[in-house]
Structure 1
């Protein structure tokens, strides 16, 4: 089994990290729910780029790297979809994004990052409510993103991609208590969206280019969708 660079077999995917960050413990809801499928799709494509499973064609389309599929079942369907021919990023987002929410949430529940608890609506109807688990992983992820956006730390590659995707989702203002919504933070977030991560390695430069293409295509897609 091929393991992506910098990841272990049981490591969370980037899309899991993103959904966990978007989860709001205070309300038990997920920020940006109305446009979530585009954002999660973007995280999957970015993760494929980080693992060098996809590359860009003509600067605007993405395709799978032949013979190099991802090992994770959450990522494989997107790689398979892109293996037939190069696709526009927005086309790919619309194709792979809608099916992601439930399996990604199930992963987070299985890992204990999010818990489900029984709940009654109007004292009659049984349902389940989501609450933060006891792993502390969401807090650690948020601290990593805060260091990059607020404190100006030089990010690791995955943290840079995560922060860029979080910015692309349009939900950063909802994190104001942990990540102040200030002009320097906004400027740094936009730099990350463009792929300005401050990395030097040539391989990382390629990864940044692919990920920046994905992130910016996600932003374009979100601008034409209602956020209400």
Structure 2
């Protein structure tokens, strides 16, 4: 079973040794967006004009995606607005938990629990099997740094990372300005089909809007 876009983003965000989440807020939005884009690629969901439509509620066979698909189907049936931003706001925390649980089930990370200051429960997810993340980082480097033409999934992943300003998660040892232009170019989705390209643009707009509001809230 292939690792999903959401799981790839989560792997990039989790520190390999400590298991702590880096850039937790922005990465969380991107994880939730990754599930939506994966459902678009699976032809279960369409995204146009900032709105979601379930095109096919048939399960994909991937538990992480099917759990969100069932909830999306119910939500879009009873909610006339169906905006991408509304769904991400509603589902972000749940989507992140489900994604990390899926990584645990795959044996890619392990869950560690302890109490901060002896009082507050804390969970960490250090790496258990680094092979998937290594392949992922090699693929990102090949496309972004070496100019290899990406497939739909990789261009979608890079678009989400760029929209959420997660350049440092993908390339922690490089200055953001060195990779930003190439990631923006890939994020335009010129390698993707029309439907996927439209979805990528909508997802980028939603993530950019959310992260901008989040950043402004933190500053205030």
Q: TM-score when scaled to structure 2?
A: 0.81
In the TM superposition, residue 222 of structure 1 has moved relative to its aligned partner by 1.0
In the TM superposition, residue 96 of structure 1 has moved relative to its aligned partner by 1.8
Q: Does residue 195 of the first structure (1) align with residue 195 of the second (2)?
A: no
Q: Does residue 61 of the first structure (1) align with residue 51 of the second (2)?
A: yes
Q: 1:50 aligns with which of 41, 47, 67?
A: 41
Does structure 2 conserve the Cα–Cα contact (< 8 Å) formed by 1:112 and 1:135?
no
- RMSD of the alignment, in Å? 2.8
Moved more, 120-129 or 185-194: 120-129
Cα distance in structure 1, aligned partners of 2:143 and 2:47? 27
Does structure 2 conserve the Cα–Cα contact (< 8 Å) formed by 1:55 and 1:62?
yes
> Which residue does 2:175 correspond to in 1?
181
In the TM superposition, residue 187 of structure 1 has moved relative to its aligned partner by 0.9
- Cα 1:121–1:155 change in 2 (3 A) is same
> Which residue does 1:81 correspond to in 2?
75
In the TM superposition, residue 210 of structure 1 has moved relative to its aligned partner by 1.2
Cα distance in structure 2, aligned partners of 1:96 and 1:124? 28
Cα distance in structure 1, aligned partners of 2:83 and 2:125? 35
Q: 2:5 aligns with which of 14, 20, 23?
A: 14
- Cα 1:41–1:182 change in 2 (3 A) is closer
Q: 2:164 aligns with which of 157, 166, 169?
A: 169
Does structure 2 conserve the Cα–Cα contact (< 8 Å) formed by 1:45 and 1:78?
no
Q: 2:126 aligns with which of 124, 127, 131?
A: 131
For residue 153 of structure 1, give the secondary structure of its aligned residue in structure 2.
coil
Which has a greater percent of strand?
1
Cα distance in structure 2, aligned partners of 1:87 and 1:124? 40
> Which residue does 1:98 correspond to in 2?
93
In the TM superposition, residue 175 of structure 1 has moved relative to its aligned partner by 4.5
In structure 1, the gaps of 5 or more residues are 1-9
Q: TM-score when scaled to structure 1?
A: 0.79
> Which residue does 2:204 correspond to in 1?
215
In structure 2, the gaps of 5 or more residues are none
> Which residue does 1:34 correspond to in 2?
25
Q: Does residue 152 of the first structure (1) align with residue 142 of the second (2)?
A: no
Cα distance in structure 2, aligned partners of 1:79 and 1:40? 19
Does structure 1 conserve the Cα–Cα contact (< 8 Å) formed by 2:160 and 2:203?
no
Q: Does residue 141 of the first structure (1) align with residue 136 of the second (2)?
A: yes
